[in-house]
Amino acid sequence: MDDRHLTSSLVADLDPSARPVAAGYLRELAAALPGSRRDRSAILTEIADGLIEQIADTDGPNPATVARTAIRGFGDPQHLAAQFAPELTGKTAHRTGFGLVSSGPFIGALWLLALTSGPPAVSTASLPERIIGLFAALPVLPVLLLIIVPTALVATAGAGRAAWVLPIATGTACLAGLVAGVGCAVVDLTLVVHALLPGGAWSPFLVAAITISTVRLIVAGAAARRCGRLRFAG
Amino acid sequence: MRAEVLKGHLDGLLLSVLEQGPIHGYAVIESLRVRSGGAFDLPTGTVYPALHRLERAGLVRGSWSTGAGRRRRCYELTAAGRTALADQRVSWWQFAGAVSTVMGGGGPAWTTAT
């Protein structure tokens, strides 16, 4: 549901002459709110509920005037959106960090299986030996992981329980989400390009790893772009 | 009372209102207004972002419910919120006592100083 439909539906129970006034305010707020559609929708729903309550508690000569008076109590929509911005920024960072932290071990293990299974001499190697072998073949990986893992963890502290443990500014969490997202996209790209180089042996693990990494590359890139937009929006 | 005057005390006031049980955002605003005898008639837009900030800090927990035929977000204190409220109460009484003493609102020390 787009913002126009959402804002109209949220105030559908109001008097017909008050409806456009309230919906107009919510639309201005929606346009000024940063963050994902889901987060903006949650805030609009909450504000609409309060606005309807305030309209019910306000006296005036007609419903449209009552709605305008009630809206004054909520303040300028741009100002209200600016007050929500830190929380929305933090949530975006948290979601980015959490997504990368939770998907990382699974995708890493898949690539390990894909790139180190094959000839018996390789496939019988222990896990540490496989990891060392993979890092030796792609020395950029350990460097990137040293950047991605801590920054992704910092990004998770943008919201949720992690924010209680590590109370950092949401802007910092968002910057960390940007770095982790870009780093992750570079890792996925590196692995996919490496796998596609001629001479490699194909396996179901490799096909699965390439597919999942391609999806994550796109998702991580989009998440990094969102974090960057929020971080540097002013 | 202007919102700027309450700056620094808003979190404590919100936690105090939520101490009575889970309520939605607008009810928090109403409760603040009623309990202060109309003195704390805050701009509505000040309270919702503050509730979100408290939620991020783990002092309140928000959850969606249905009321009056529409979805609404209710807030309640967490254990950390109760602890923070107790700390803020102690801090407030110390501050208010000191201000009263200095300004002459309740201090025998003021009258005996001469």
ipTM value = 0.82
Q: Which residue of B has its CA nearest to A9?
A: B70
B73, A73: Cβ pair inside 8 Å?
no
- Domains for chain B: give ranges and CATH numbers: 3-98 (1.10.10.10)
**B51 touches B62 (CB < 8 A):** yes
Model confidence at A123, in pLDDT bands (50, 70, 90)? low
Model confidence at A59, in pLDDT bands (50, 70, 90)? confident
Lowest-confidence region among A12-21, A196-205, B52-61: A196-205
pLDDT digits (tens, 9 = 90+) for A72-98: 888 889 989 988 888 888 889 999 999
Q: Of A49, A86, A163, which has the smallest distance from its Cβ to B24's Cβ?
A: A49
pLDDT at A20 over 70: yes
What DSSP character marks residue A200? P
pLDDT at A63 over 80: yes
Model confidence at A58, in pLDDT bands (50, 70, 90)? confident
Q: Is B37 left (phi over 0), alpha (psi -120 to 50) or beta?
A: left
Q: How far apart are CA B71 and CA B25, in angstroms?
A: 12
Model confidence at A60, in pLDDT bands (50, 70, 90)? confident
pLDDT digits (tens, 9 = 90+) for B9-54: 889 999 999 998 999 999 999 999 898 888 887 777 789 999 998 9
pLDDT at B75 over 90: yes
A49, B49: Cβ pair inside 8 Å?
no
Q: What is the pLDDT of residue A41?
A: 92
Please state the rounded mean pLDDT for residues B57-86. 91
Q: Is A189 exposed, middle or buried (0-12, 13-18, 19+ CB in 10 A)?
A: middle
Which residues on chain A place their C-beta less than 8 Å from a C-beta of chain B? Answer: 10, 13, 42-43, 45-54, 57, 73-76, 79-80, 83-84, 86-87, 90, 159, 161, 163-164, 167
Q: How far apart are CA A18 and CA A94, in angstroms?
A: 38
Q: What is the pLDDT of residue A120?
A: 53
Q: How far apart are CA A159 and CA A166, in angstroms?
A: 10
A23-29 contact pairs (CB < 8 A, 24+):
A25/A51, A25/A71, A25/A74, A25/A77, A26/A51, A27/A3, A28/A77, A28/A78, A29/A77, A29/A80, A29/A81
Q: Which of B70, B74, B75 to mutate to test the interface with A (most CBs of A within 10 A)?
A: B70
Q: Would you give the distance in Å from CA B15 to the centre of its chain? A: 5
Question: Where do the H-state alpha helices sit in chain B?
Answer: 3-6, 10-18, 25-35, 44-56, 79-103, 108-112
Q: Of B29, B56, B73, which has the smallest distance from its Cβ to A90's Cβ?
A: B56
pLDDT at A200 over 80: no
pLDDT at A45 over 60: yes
Q: Where are the domains of chain A?
A: 3-75, 89-231
A13, B69: Cβ pair inside 8 Å?
yes
A86, B70: Cβ pair inside 8 Å?
no
Model confidence at A165, in pLDDT bands (50, 70, 90)? confident
Q: Of A49, A86, A161, which has the smallest distance from its Cβ to B72's Cβ?
A: A49
Q: What is the pLDDT of residue A27?
A: 93
Q: Which residue of A has its CA nearest to B41?
A: A73
What is the pTM (predicted TM-score) of this model? 0.77
Q: What is the mean pLDDT of chain A?
A: 87
Q: Which residue of A has its CA nearest to B67?
A: A49
From B91's Cα to the closest Cα of chain A, the distance in A is 22
What DSSP character marks residue A202? P
Model confidence at B114, in pLDDT bands (50, 70, 90)? very low
Q: Which of A6, A28, A38, A49 to mutate to test the interface with B (most CBs of B within 10 A)?
A: A49
Q: How far apart are CA A220 and CA A222, in angstroms?
A: 5
